[in-house]
Amino acid sequence: MAIVRKVVEGSQLAQIIELPAEMKNTKVELIIRPFIEKKEIETFDPKRFRGILNIENVEEQIEQIRNDWVRQ
């Protein structure tokens, strides 16, 4: 994606867009890049992850992990 960056006088830019007063008499950086529409956020579908770990005897493994912890 191409991006254009340019430093211009705020007074020049103020002729095109509205600027805050503190930017009108100073140099400002102008950054131009293509606008990309955001897609709708996908909803979480747990079925997509089914079997990804492929762990058998989950409860036994969790108990073993808990027993391996040093308890104080």
The larger pLDDT score, comparing residue 29 to residue 71, is at 29
Only one residue has tokens 């079997």, namely 51
How do residues 5-63 score in pLDDT, each as one tens digit?
Answer: 999 999 888 889 999 988 888 999 999 999 888 776 678 888 888 877 777 888 888 88
Task: Extract the tokens encoding 22.
Answer: 């503190």
47: containing domain: 4-34+43-68
Q: Residue 15's pLDDT is what?
A: 87
Q: Residue 5's pLDDT is what?
A: 95
Instruction: Return the H-helix or E-strand segment holding 40.
Output: none
Could you give the C-alpha distances from 18 to 21, 28, 45, in angstroms and in order?
9, 13, 44
Structural domain total, the chain: 1
d(CA 69, CA 72): 9
Q: Residue 72's pLDDT is what?
A: 55
d(CA 10, CA 3): 20
